[in-house]
Each structure stands twice: as structure tokens, then as C-alpha cells.
Amino acid sequence: MIYTEDKFQLVDKKRHNRYKYRGQTTAYLMLLPAFVLLSIFVILPLILAIIRSFQDYNTKAFVGFSNYVYLFEMDTLFYKSFLTALLMTTIISVILLVISFGFALVLKAMDNKFGKLVKVLIYVPFFISGIIASVIFNLIFNYGGGLISSICVLLDKDPISFTNDTTLAYISIIVPTIWLGFGYNTLVMYAGLINIPEDYYQAANVDGANWFQKLWFITIPNMRNYIVLLVINMVTGYMQMMEIPMMMTGGGPLNTTLTPVLYLFNSFRDPSRPDNVTIAGAILIMIFIMAVNIFVFKTIKTRRSEDV
């Protein structure tokens, strides 16, 4: 007879072990397909990519860190593209968090058929790829015949060049990105909101708490895990943004909207660049995103729901 360390429950040791290991073989067998697929499509390619990033592409000879050094020495664009992506990720994430949280609050209040319709409608853009979204927004932002420029011409004003202006180019990327992500973020926020027990609010009402106090002391703390999920998703996704900048601005003007992945895409297609430099760049992006995510995890610590 023993006491387990954490719960101080009386457990028969033999019986405990029998239950503990009985399902192991089945569990491993069930995990096997996932493990095999992950190995083939994720782990092995990753290992091969890491090895290749230290090799010359043509001769396969090991060249140390020269592919990595090349990335930073050949031009400053790779380094700058990280700053661009970081800036855009920050702007987009903050805006998306705020508006999707606000809209989720509105959705929660709209507990009727119209609310259900809205939930479906706002989720629709999530099914649209970045390329299609860019085509749609090109019809709006296009300098030559886009909606906004056409209205400007009708009003006897000069057309606006969103994609060829160093500031407006950001808008032409941020707006479609937010449009695409808004539905998903709102619904996750909404799911979080409806999971908060009503008792908390009733107790707060009894204590005379106002709307802001309920938001600050009940809603937001209970949404912490959802916010962490969304932030991680957004940081991971937007740091790897490529389709929208490629389609809307091509990384310009003056490379102001060039993101790391778009840089690597261009690099991959540039025959004068060693291909393994592109692979080295991809490894660096992976490390950078992992580092940013660890930072986010550390900054916004998750808690189990019962600890909140």
C-alpha cells in the first residue's frame, strides 16, 4: 500500500501499475501512423534542410555557416524584411485582437437568428485564400482602375497609388489580412466568451460591479488562454506572410513591404543565388518564429482554467 505523491490517495501498487501500462501497446500503435507521417513529411525534411543549409548546393560539400553569412552579407534586405514582418505582425495582431474581441462581445449580445447569420457571414473570408483575397482587394486598391481610384477620378481628384506609396502600401496589405483573419478570430473569441460561467457576472452584479469592471476583472482574465492561442496563431502566420504582399505590392515600393518569406521566394527564383542560401534562410525564419512564440508564451503565461 502506498500514497501517491500528489493526491495522497491510497492505491494498490500492483493494481496501479497494471492499469498504468495496460493500454501502452495500443496507444503506441495508434500513435504510429501519426509518428510515421510526421517523420516523413516534417522531421526528415527538417533534418535534411538543416544539413543542406550547411552544404554547397551543387557540390554537396560542407561549407560551414557560409550560407547563413551570405544571407546577411549579400544585402540588408533579409534583415530588413524581418523588421517589416514584425511591424506588420504587431499592427495586424493588435488591431485584430481588439476588433475581434469587440465584435465577439456584440455577437454574444445578438442571441437571435440574425446573430447566427452574422456568425456564418463573418467566417466566410476564412475560407478564401490570400491570393483570392488579394485579387479582390486589388479591385479596390488598384491604381489604374480600382474602386477607390475610380471614385477619386469621378470626384476630379488624382487616383491614389496604394501600392506604390511607402506608407499606403502597408494599408494595402494590412486591410486584406485583417479581413481574412477577422472571422476566425471573432469566433474563437466568441467561443471563449460563452464559456465564461454566467455565475461570475451575477455575483459581480450583486457586488455592484459596472460594465468595465466586469470586463476587466472577469471577461479578460477568463479569455487569457484564448488570447494566447490567437496571438500564437497570428505571430506564426503573419511572420510567414507571403501571398498578400506578393500579390498586392510585390514587396515594394523600395522593398518596404518585403517579408522574409517573400524574400526567400524571390531568392529561390534567382538563379544567381545558391539554393542552399534559401534553405538557410528558411531555417532562420523557423528559429525566429519559434523564438517569438516562446517570448509570447513567457509574456502571456497560460493557466489551466481552474487556476484562473
Partner 1 sequence: MKTRSLSKFIVPALFVVALTAGCKSKSKDPVEEGATIITMYLRNFEDWSNEYMNKRVKEFNSNMEDGIQLSVKFFEDEAYTDAFKVAKENGSAPDIFMCSYGNIYHDVVETGDGVPLNDLIKQEYIDDISDNIKPMVTYNDKVYGYPQLSEPSSIFFYRKSMLNTAGVASAPSTWAELLEACSKIKPTLKRGQYCVGIPIGSALSWSTYGLQYNLTGGLALNDDWTQSRVGTEEGFKDIAGLWYDLYGNGYVPNGAISPKGSYNDIIEGMMMGKVAMTFAGSWSIAEIMHTYSDLASDVGVSVIPTKDGNTSKVTASNGGWTYAISSQSDKEHQQKAAKVIEWLFAESPERTAGFFEAAYYSKAAVTNSVKAYISEHVEDNLKEWTNVINDVASKAIPEATYPWSISVAVGTIFETCGLNADLNKGESYKTTTINNAIKTADDSINAIIHSSSWEGKPF
CB of 270 vs partner 1, minimal distance in Å: 4
Q: Binding marks (x or -) toward partner 1, 241..270, rule CB under 8 A?
A: ---------x-xxxx----------x-xxx
C-alpha cell at 145: 482602375
Is position 271 an interface residue for partner 1 (rule: CB under 8 A)?
A: yes
Question: Reduced to 3 states, what is the DSSP secondary structure of residue 298?
Answer: helix
Site residues (CB under 8 A) for partner 1, limited to 30-59: 57-58
Smaller CB distance to partner 1: residue 80 or 224? 80
CB of 46 vs partner 1, minimal distance in Å: 16
The H-assigned helical ranges of the chain are 13-22, 24-38, 44-52, 66-74, 77-109, 113-123, 130-141, 147-154, 168-194, 198-206, 211-214, 220-222, 224-239, 243-248, 260-269, 275-299
Is position 77 an interface residue for partner 1 (rule: CB under 8 A)?
A: yes
Smallest CA-to-CA distance from 185 within 47, 294, 92 is with 92
CB of 63 vs partner 1, minimal distance in Å: 10
Amino acid at 194: I
**How far is Cα 120 from Cα 122, in angstroms, rounded to an integer?**
6
Please select the residue that binds partner 1; options are 95, 128, 240, 275, rule is CB under 8 A. 275
| CB-CB neighbours of 164 under 10 Å | 14
Smaller CB distance to partner 1: residue 31 or 139? 139
Is position 158 an interface residue for partner 1 (rule: CB under 8 A)?
A: yes
Smaller CB distance to partner 1: residue 235 or 243? 243
Please select the residue that binds partner 1; options are 74, 83, 194, 290, rule is CB under 8 A. 74
CB of 1 vs partner 1, minimal distance in Å: 54
**Burial 31-43, CB ≥16 within 10 A → b, else e:** eeeeeeeeeeeee
Inter-CA distances, 247 with 79, 97, 263, Å: 22, 25, 14
Smaller CB distance to partner 1: residue 187 or 258? 258
Query: Residue numbers of the site for partner 1 (CB under 8 A)?
Result: 57-58, 69-70, 73-77, 138, 142-145, 149, 153, 156-159, 161-166, 250, 252-255, 266, 268-273, 275
